Amino acid sequence: MQLDQAFAELNLVQDFIPLGNSNRPGTRLVPRLITIHNTDNDSPGANAAAHAKYQKGEDARRRKVSWHFTVDDRGVFQSLPTNEVGWHAGTREGNSSSIGIEICMHPEMNVDAAYQRAALLVAVMARRLGVTVPAAVVQHHHWSGKHCPRVLRDKPHGWDDFLQTIAHSSNDLRDITAPDIIAGHDHHEGETGSGAPVGASEEFTVIARDGLRVRAGPGTDFDIKSSLAFGTKVVVISHSGAWAMVDLNGDGIGGDGFVHSAFLKRG
C-alpha cells in the first residue's frame, strides 16, 4: 500500500485543540516512541469524534489531558501536531518523548476494524517520524504503570498480536513511486481549470473560482470531505496521478485529503 493510499484508508481528520488552551502547552516534541492507550470509555457514542471534541472542552482543559490521535472503526481524529507535546503518558519522560494514540472502546464499534486502523496509523506515523516498529511502540503502562491499554492487556496475546499487525502494516507500506508524478494535468468529470505541475512539500494556492473540493481519496469516486475557497494556501505532501494530498495545517505530518492538481498554482 502506498502512503497516499494509507492516508486515504485512515480517513484522518485534523481537529486540533485550540492554541492557548491549558491542555495544549505548545512545547516542541521530537518523538522517539509511540504510546498506545485505550480511551477507557465504553459509553455509547464515545467514538473518535467525541473524544476529539472532549479534548477541546472545559474538563480536558481543567485536567490538562491531551493526546495526538484517537482511532475508531471509521476514522482517525488528530488533536495535536506530532511535533508538540501532549499530556497523555502520566510521566514527564513519556510525554516528552512520545506521541499518544488512543483507541476507542465504545459498544457500537467494529473492534477488529478499529485495531487494524490503529495498526496502520502507527505504521504510517512511524514512517513519517523515522522510528522503528514495533520496537518504538509502547503501552501507557510502560510509563506510569496504569493498566492501559486495558483491552489489549486483558486479551490473551492481545498486545503481541497488535504489534504483529503493526509490523505487517509497516512492511506493506511503500513510498510514492516515480510514475505517479506527472508533468501535466488532466480534467475529470466536468472539473475545469488551469494549474501547474505539483511538487512535494511545496506551498500552493487554490485557483478554483468556485472553490476546490477536498476528497477522501485520489479520485472523484471518493467522498467529499470539505471545500477550499479561492486563494487558500495549502501544502502538498504527496501525489497520486493528477491528484495531490494536501496538508492544510502546514506541518508536513498528516494529510487532510486530496485535491485535483489542475486547480493549484505554485506559490
- Do residues 46 and 145 both lie within one domain? yes
Series of mean pLDDT values for 10-residue runs along the chain (267 residues): 86 91 95 97 96 97 97 96 95 98 97 98 92 95 98 97 96 68 39 40 82 82 79 83 78 73 85
**What letter does residue 16 receive in the DSSP assignment?**
P
> Cβ atoms within 10 A of the Cβ of 127, count?
17
- Do residues 117 and 150 both lie within one domain? yes
pLDDT given for residue 148 in this prediction: 98
- Do residues 132 and 185 both lie within one domain? no
pLDDT given for residue 246 in this prediction: 86
- Do residues 149 and 52 both lie within one domain? yes
pTM: 0.70
- Do residues 83 and 196 both lie within one domain? no
pLDDT given for residue 195 in this prediction: 42
pLDDT given for residue 177 in this prediction: 55
> Length of the chain in residues, anyone?
267
pLDDT given for residue 87 in this prediction: 98
pLDDT given for residue 132 in this prediction: 92
- Do residues 34 and 103 both lie within one domain? yes
For 199-249, the DSSP string reads: -TTEEEEE--TT-EEEESSSSTTSPEEEEE-TT-EEEEEEEETTEEEEESS
- Do residues 248 and 150 both lie within one domain? no
Domain boundary among 143, 172, 201: 172
pLDDT given for residue 175 in this prediction: 74
- Do residues 218 and 104 both lie within one domain? no
Of 176, 260, 172, 170, which is closest to residue 221 (Cα–Cα)?
260
Q: Name the domain count of the chain.
A: 2
Domain boundary among 122, 139, 172: 172
pLDDT given for residue 181 in this prediction: 40
- Do residues 196 and 235 both lie within one domain? yes
User: Where residue 34 sits, what CATH number does that domain have?
Assistant: 3.40.80.10
* Domain enclosing residue 107, as ranges: 3-172
- Do residues 26 and 153 both lie within one domain? yes
Domain boundary among 154, 172, 190: 172
User: Where residue 222 sits, what CATH number does that domain have?
Assistant: 2.30.30.40
- Do residues 147 and 204 both lie within one domain? no
pLDDT given for residue 215 in this prediction: 84
pLDDT given for residue 234 in this prediction: 87
Of 254, 260, 185, 190, which is closest to residue 219 (Cα–Cα)?
260
- Do residues 196 and 125 both lie within one domain? no
